[in-house]
């Protein structure tokens, strides 16, 4: 073999792809119900967008971006996430002139040069939504409720929804100062990464997964301790709305999430039956991001859910995926004349809208029947020499085993009727 696939990427093979189709169907269903329409943005953007729009002190931008110079000497990056891209599209296409909020969804591949392990890849897929233009806590609650509905509709169980408020540019400096004050005497004991975060992005120290940092953080001032009146009221409203629609949550004061642009509500959904890579989605409000990307001062909120981790969780929990790709008709033929008829008939059947197949491997009649069985074909049409002479075909119902002789010219109509 010339080469294998790059580390951290996956082939989604024919046997797997039906799971993806199913998830995509549920995505479209739920987005229609919640009023989110699809947006498709480029897979790569100017690097600057992510530096400004995600934050140059985040792990994602600092360490994990696929960045390269193109032939025109521009710095380009494969998107590590899509919120910044959607915001760029919103500003560039002046979607702020439309009735607000603008509610969009996306589903597609993201790229991060991450340390590869189970559930952590370099090309992975996210389904996400963004609601741009409203500061109403009802939008926060709508977005969270929608994510939980989506999981429930897929049949996932044992999920934990963690929510927090990280405050606004008004109350964050208060928290930053208190947190740095608390950590100043402990900074030497923190993990290497958190030591480097102390000046640049101390809030991220709060959700470090290293045991030593967790221990040191136990008594650290949390973002919710420092919320201004407006942020505290916003958080209360979000919780009330969630209570009103029966969405259960855990207030998690350590939850700050990786990206710099979050304000107010931050949330994350974990599958409680797995360990390290248990986050199957997360999101939050980003009221400063749109202005940061060069647009008008506009609030926004969204989430991104990891599709690979959702599929893995569904498999682990034994959730059934609907079957896909079954054949309506297989035409088995014996002899050259019958093969020629089979070739004509399969095209007529396909033009009539049926999923039909013939043998393309020169199999024996017995092997053709076995092949038809393997694909759980609904009907098999058998064309032998006798049938061709009689201008007829034998149609077998593969469930009941019953056989019926049908005139060759009437096979399409007969099958259409049977399969209606």
User: What is the binding site for ligand AMP (CB under 6 A)?
Assistant: 81, 112, 114, 119-121, 124, 126, 258, 279-282, 304, 306, 308-309
Q: CB nearer to ligand AMP: give 237 or 292.
A: 292
The token pair that represents 334 in the structure block: 């014996």
Minimum distance from CB of 113 to ligand AMP (Å)? 9
- Residue 329 carries which DSSP code? E
- Residue 315 carries which DSSP code? H
Minimum distance from CB of 156 to ligand AMP (Å)? 12
The token pair that represents 183 in the structure block: 């950590």
- CB distance 164 to 256 below 8 Å: yes
Minimum distance from CB of 320 to ligand AMP (Å)? 22
Please state the separation of Cα 174 from the chain's center in Å: 35
Minimum distance from CB of 307 to ligand AMP (Å)? 8
Q: CB nearer to ligand AMP: give 167 or 282.
A: 282
Minimum distance from CB of 338 to ligand AMP (Å)? 51
DSSP lists the bridge partners of residue 46 as: 76
- CB distance 298 to 290 below 8 Å: yes
Minimum distance from CB of 305 to ligand AMP (Å)? 6
Q: Which residue is nearest to ligand AMP (CB)?
A: 306
Give the whole-angstrom CA distance, residue 154 versus residue 27: 10
Helices within 318-364 (DSSP H only): 336-351
Q: CB nearer to ligand AMP: give 197 or 309.
A: 309
Q: CB nearer to ligand AMP: give 122 or 241.
A: 122
Give the residue from 236, 238, 256, 255 showing the smallest Cα distance to 247.
Answer: 238
Q: CB nearer to ligand AMP: give 304 or 383.
A: 304
For tokens 């207030």, what's the residue? 251
For tokens 């997360």, what's the residue? 282
Minimum distance from CB of 276 to ligand AMP (Å)? 12
Give the whole-angstrom CA distance, residue 265 versus residue 285: 5
Q: CB nearer to ligand AMP: give 180 or 279.
A: 279
Give the whole-angstrom CA distance, residue 70 versus residue 76: 7
Range 322-356 burial, b when 16+ CB lie within 10 A, else e:
eeeeebbbbbbbbeeebbebbeebbeebeeeebbb
Q: CB nearer to ligand AMP: give 202 or 306.
A: 306
Minimum distance from CB of 121 to ligand AMP (Å)? 4
Tell how strand 37-38 and strand 279-285 pair up: unpaired
Q: CB nearer to ligand AMP: give 81 or 142.
A: 81
Phi, psi of 102 (to 5 degrees): -90, 125
Minimum distance from CB of 111 to ligand AMP (Å)? 9
Other C-beta atoms within 10 Å of 175: how many?
23
State the greatest distance between any 2 C-alpha atoms of the chain, in Å, as a whole number: 95
Minimum distance from CB of 11 to ligand AMP (Å)? 15
Q: CB nearer to ligand AMP: give 120 or 178.
A: 120
Q: Under 8 Å CB-to-CB from 382, ≥6 apart: which residues?
A: 331, 332, 333, 365, 393, 394, 395, 396
Q: CB nearer to ligand AMP: give 213 or 270.
A: 270
């Amino acid at each position: 073999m010339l080469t294998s696939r790059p580390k951290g990427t996956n082939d989604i093979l024919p046997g797997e792809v039906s799971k993806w189709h199913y998830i995509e169907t549920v995505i479209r269903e739920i987005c229609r119900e919640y009023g989110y329409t699809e947006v498709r943005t480029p897979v790569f953007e100017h690097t600057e967008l992510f530096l400004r729009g995600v934050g140059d002190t985040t792990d994602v931008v600092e360490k994990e971006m696929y960045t390269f110079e193109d032939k025109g000497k521009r710095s380009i990056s494969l998107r590590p996430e899509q919120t910044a891209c959607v915001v760029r599209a919103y500003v560039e296409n002046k979607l702020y002139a439309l009735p607000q909020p603008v509610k969009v969804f996306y589903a597609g591949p993201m790229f991060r040069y991450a340390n590869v392990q189970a559930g952590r890849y370099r090309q992975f897929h996210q389904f996400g939504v963004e609601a741009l233009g409203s500061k109403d806590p009802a939008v926060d609650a709508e977005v969270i409720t929608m994510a939980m509905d989506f999981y429930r509709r897929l049949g996932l169980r044992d999920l934990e929804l963690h929510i927090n408020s990280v405050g606004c540019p008004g109350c964050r400096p208060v928290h930053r100062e208190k947190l740095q004050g608390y950590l100043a005497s402990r900074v030497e004991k923190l993990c290497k990464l958190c030591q480097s975060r102390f000046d640049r992005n101390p809030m991220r120290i709060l959700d470090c997964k290293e045991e030593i940092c967790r221990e040191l953080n136990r008594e650290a001032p949390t973002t919710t301790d420092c919320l201004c009146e407006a942020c505290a009221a916003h958080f209360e409203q979000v919780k009330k709305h969630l209570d009103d629609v029966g969405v259960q949550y855990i207030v998690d004061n350590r939850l700050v999430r990786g990206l710099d642009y979050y304000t107010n509500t931050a949330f994350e959904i974990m599958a409680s039956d797995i360990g390290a890579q248990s986050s199957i989605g997360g999101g939050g409000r980003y009221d400063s991001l749109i202005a940061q990307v060069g647009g008008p001062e506009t609030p926004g909120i969204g989430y991104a859910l990891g599709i690979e981790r959702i599929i893995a969780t569904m498999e682990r929990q034994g959730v059934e995926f609907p079957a896909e790709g079954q054949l309506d008709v297989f035409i088995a033929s014996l002899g050259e004349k019958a093969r020629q008829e089979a070739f004509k008939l399969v095209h007529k059947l396909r033009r009539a809208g049926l999923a039909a197949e013939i043998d393309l491997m020169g199999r024996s009649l017995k092997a053709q029947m076995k092949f038809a069985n393997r694909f759980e074909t609904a009907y098999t049409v058998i064309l032998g020499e006798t049938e061709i002479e009689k201008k007829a075909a034998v149609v077998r119902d593969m469930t009941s085993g019953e056989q019926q002789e049908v005139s060759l010219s009437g096979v399409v109509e007969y099958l259409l009727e049977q399969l209606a």
